[in-house]
Amino acid sequence: MTRYVLTRFLLILPTLLTVAVLIFILVRIVPGDIVELRLVSGGSFVTPGVIEAERERLGLNKPLWDQFMEWMMGIFRLDLGLSMWSGNPVIQEIAIRLPLSLQLAVMASLIATAIAIPLGTLAALHRGRWIDQVVQVISVAGLAVPSFWLGILIILVLLGVFGYLPPLTFTPLLENPRANLAQLIWPALAVGYRYSAVTTRMTRSALLEVLREDYVRTAWAKGLARHVILRRHALRNALLPVVTVIGLEFAFLIGGLVVTEQVFNLNGVGKLIVEAIGQRDYTLIQGLMLLVALGYVLVNFLVDLLYAWLDPRITYQ
């Protein structure tokens, strides 16, 4: 097991390294740099000397190779450099936004799971009956509704019908849990519903497959109670693919809520990504992309570990 964990962990590094290299190249393909954007497009006249000095200050006129080495060496020292726009350390810029995004991702995943597993199970148990049809409609609709529109609708109803406006500024969970949840529960619901759709479908199809297995028939035959068969024999085996889906969705939720954060005016990682790209803040974009990739790779790693733990037959060759 230790061996498996280690080999699997080492596989993370090449992926992250490739991301670091590719991101560095891609960012520099984007037309226009931060200096041009900030000084020239402001409309005021600036002398070429000023532009040069600014490029010099940000290290943009160094040979690409030097810039690249600086970025790579920085990664190994866990130093992502300074944001070109604000001048603050990139790590700090991200650290301010990460708690919100992380919490939202956790809440949305919890909501999605709480909807998906019961609904998916219900649908599988009543395959082809009306309950199944209703669940299918709910989940197909979830995939079709843009979560940002659902967010707008939620606020429309809250404000229009109940005259209630959720708080607009972020309070850390530990500081004031009530205010924190009052703000984040709405976007979490909007996103969670959409993400429950995929998981519901996965739960349903995985469970249907397991329910056809011989050992389930044996369990019925030896007269076990329905809920015992379901919990101990069927669900436990069906949950493997479901766990994967939930994990991957969680990973994408951390940086992927670009639009929902805009609707709810949340200062999260997704919003920061849009801003950083818009401002051509190379160092910040690089740091953010590395973070998103890291999240995905780590979650994948954890899912694999969970797999190996849930199913002892899995080992790494």
Partner 1 sequence: MVEHALVERVAPAARRRSHPVARFFRRHPLGAAGLFLIFVLLGLALLAPWIAPYDPVANDFGAMFRPPSFRHWSGTDAYGRDVLSRVIFGARTALVIGFGASLIGATLGAVVGVVSAYFGGKTDLLVQRLVDVMLSFPIIIVALAIVSIIGTGTDKLIVAIALSFVPRVERVVRGSALGVRAMTYIEAAQVIGAGSWRIIFRHMAPNVVAPYLVMLTASLGQAILLEASLSFLGLGVSEPTAAWGLMLRGAAVDFATRAPWMAIFPGLAITLTVLAVNVLGDSLRDALDPRLRT
Residue 15: exposure state from Cβ atoms within 10 A (0-12, 13-18, ≥19): middle
Q: Using CB under 8 A, which of 263, 266, 272, 284 touches partner 1?
A: 263
The verdict on 13 binding partner 1 (CB under 8 A) reads no
| Residue matched to tokens 């690089």 | 286
Residues 28-87 contacting partner 1, CB under 8 A: 29-31
The verdict on 6 binding partner 1 (CB under 8 A) reads no
Beta-carbon neighbour count of residue 122 at 10 Å? 18
Where does this chain touch partner 1 (CB under 8 A) — which range of 27-35, 51-59, 90-98, 215-223? 27-35
Q: Using CB under 8 A, which of 182, 297, 305, 308 touches partner 1?
A: 297
Beta-carbon neighbour count of residue 239 at 10 Å? 19
Beta-carbon neighbour count of residue 77 at 10 Å? 7
Rounded to whole angstroms, how far apart are CA atoms 192 and 190?
Answer: 6
Ramachandran area for residue 310 (φ above 0: left; ψ -120 to 50: alpha; else beta): alpha
Count, residues near partner 1 per rule CB under 8 A: 49
Q: Using CB under 8 A, which of 69, 156, 228, 310 touches partner 1?
A: 156
In degrees, rounded to 5, the angle at the alpha carbon of residue 272 between the alpha carbons of residues 254 and 150 is 60
Q: Using CB under 8 A, which of 68, 252, 301, 307 touches partner 1?
A: 252
The verdict on 26 binding partner 1 (CB under 8 A) reads yes
Q: Using CB under 8 A, which of 102, 259, 305, 306 touches partner 1?
A: 259
Ramachandran area for residue 173 (φ above 0: left; ψ -120 to 50: alpha; else beta): alpha
Binding site for partner 1 (CB under 8 A): 14-15, 18-19, 22, 26, 29-31, 140-141, 143-146, 148-149, 151-156, 158-160, 165, 168, 201-202, 205, 252, 255-256, 258-259, 262-265, 273-274, 277-278, 289, 292-293, 296-297
